[in-house]
Structure 1
Amino acid sequence: PRALLRGVLTSLLILGAICSYPMIAKWLAEGEEKELPPMRTINYSELEMPPPLNKNEPPPPKIDLPPPVKKTIKFVPPKVTAKEVEDEKMPEIEELKKVEVSTVTQEGVGSIVIDEPVREVAKDTTDVNRNKVFLIVENQPEFPGGNTALMKYLGNNIRYPSSARRMGIEGKVMIQFVVNQAGEIADVKVLRGLSGDCDNEAMRVIKSMPKWKPGRQGGRPVKVQMVVPVNYRLE
């Protein structure tokens, strides 16, 4: 019986192997048919070389950066305002209003200063232009009687304007004028003013001056420009 059982088992194993062989063979065949995806290869000989650098190509433009901003402080100009002056009633006393005349500026109701420029003699005097206005000539113009007579004349004729006295206005008026070839006063103007009334009074007296002795250049009378400062001072 043991030998019979062994024979039966052997027969069954052989039969099972025969029956399962087609399935095993098919499975092995399917595994062989499956292929892995192709691998991408790179051949260095097929790569393109980069273009050569152009040495003659101009460099890129230089970008100018703005200079660094420095710290600044805004300047605000001072605001000038006119200070109102109280209109006080001043006594109508002539001794307080007189205009004094002096060769120098001094305290007082008024003073006249005559500035004499440094005298320079022109080298070329052969051809003198009679229409030219000179600043300095060989012989300067002169008021009749000299500077002393001029100061006396201005002092006797200039009056301190009442409006300027009431407002307490003091200062200097610069009057420019021309003494022509005939010694007459012309082209009177204000170089630096003080007030309308003070300017007009100074111009009025300058225009009313008598004829001067004309200035001379190269032996001929010429036009000469003069400047007279008139100082108004309150005591």
Structure 2
Amino acid sequence: MARLDILDPEWIEVVFRGRNKAYGAYVLRKENAKTSVRALIIASALFVLAIAMPTIINKLKGFIPKADEKVKIQDVVLIPPPPIDATKPPPPPPKVEPPKPKVDQVRFPPPVVKPDNEVKEKDPPTVKELEVKDPGQKDLKGDPSADIRIDEAVGKSDIKEKVVEENTNAIVSFAAVEKLPAFPGGEGAFGSYLQKNLRYPPVAKENNTQGRVILSFVVEKDGSLTDIKVLRDIGGGCGQEAIRVLSKSPHWTPGIQNGKPVRVAFTMPVNFTLSSDQ
């Protein structure tokens, strides 16, 4: 009995001898070994798959193409500073008449070592004079009612320069103007205007010419666009088409400098891109 194996398939025949073997219990006991092995294999496979799932997902990410993402690209044009005119002298600093001091001043010359025969400066003020007067660059009569000012410029020259009227027809740089000129309705309206009026040149379309055309122009004081030039062209007639569209542009809002409209030099890119249906 120690070596008796009750799981041996032969025992199933003994138990079900003379009985209905078509009954489900006979089939289940006969196939129990196969069913247990199959269940063990499936459970092991599912356990290994669950453990390795994160690693498999990370491996598959590099092979699965990502969906096309729409990225908004905004061109930023860096304009160089205007050239410095070396022939034009810098404006003179404003000269302001200093107010009278509140207390009388007496000249207090700085000490300079000279031979006795060359000394022509008068003696410095005495202690008695400094009790009622302040030392200064020259003798001045004080005004007791004057306010004390510390941040005023000091000088003794008269204001003789005349006020020079600003050249109202001068072109102001894009980077120096206080308020930039703008298309009516803003950048979005200008983009819609270009999309509606820009026609892709046939030669450029045939040669698959794409790129960015850089234009320069002047926004006048009345908002009109003049002196339209192509700084960088991509060929195929794209530069001429960009000039045509800008020349028909409605008047812009002019640039403002010192509260007045001025002429402003402007630089702008125009993109030519072929879509997939063209």
> Per the shorter chain, which TM-score range?
0.3 to 0.5
Q: Which has the larger radius of gyration?
A: 1
Q: TM-score, normalised by structure 1?
A: 0.47
Q: TM-score, normalised by structure 2?
A: 0.40
